[in-house]
Amino acid sequence: MRKIEHLGIAVRDLQKSNDLFKRLLGTAHYKTESVESEGVKTSFFQVGDTKIELLEATRTESPIAKFIEKKAEGIHHIAFDVEDIYTEMDRMKAEGFEILNDIPKEGADNKLVVFLHPKSTNGVLVELCQEKPKLH
Ligand SMILES: CC[C@H](C(=O)O)C(=O)SCCNC(=O)CCNC(=O)[C@H](O)C(C)(C)COP(=O)(O)OP(=O)(O)OC[C@H]1O[C@@H](n2cnc3c(N)ncnc32)[C@H](O)[C@@H]1OP(=O)(O)O
Ligand SMILES: [Co+2]
């Protein structure tokens, strides 16, 4: 793991939370992006060498909708930046962590991502992110 890539925060209303985090952080979000496969709309704030990712559900069966319904708005996951996601997946399996997707999937912000089940990571949903190579 190279660094914390982002902290994912589940919110009900992305626009309202964008305004709140702009006031909190003193900087506006640098992008919004929908990831239909995850049923989320996201916005990203740069904070030093890491980011805040706000996530609003775009459909009721989205993990974000379920999380907010069951718990509340708040910290949803922690994402780590990795050099090579396949190497890290092998290491996670060898260490006995439960990987939720067999192959990396499309993430936001030009990433390949996998998730580890929170029951194997002390109750914290963990996301591994690898920057996708830039096409020239
Ligand atoms: C990829 C785009 C973007 C990016 O950064 O690029 C994202 O980050 S998208 C983020 C949204 N997508 C995901 O979260 C995908 C991974 N999540 C899942 O597959 C599910 O949410 C899962 C498996 C973690 C839970 O789904 P399930 O249907 O099992 O929901 P339950 O409510 O029944 O939960 C079971 C159990 O897990 C606990 N739980 C659920 N979510 C979290 C969480 N975020 N953090 C910690 N714990 C969580 C939940 O409380 C249940 O525990 P229990 O003790 O059984 O009550
Ligand atoms: Co994320």
Instruction: Measure CA of the first residue to CA of the last residue in the chain; give whole Å.
Output: 26
pLDDT in tens, the chain (136 residues): 899 999 999 999 999 999 999 999 999 999 999 999 999 999 999 999 999 999 999 999 999 999 999 999 999 999 999 999 999 999 999 999 999 999 999 999 999 999 999 999 999 999 999 999 877 6
CATH superfamily label, 3-131:
2,3-Dihydroxybiphenyl 1,2-Dioxygenase, domain 1 (3.10.180.10)
Nearest protein Cα to ligand 1, atom 45: 125
Nearest protein Cα to ligand 1, atom 37: 118
Atom of ligand 1 nearest to the CA of 63: 21
Residue pointed to by tokens 């949903």: 125
Atom of ligand 1 nearest to the CA of 117: 24
Nearest protein Cα to ligand 1, atom 16: 115
pTM for the full predicted model: 0.96
Domain boundaries, the chain: 3-131
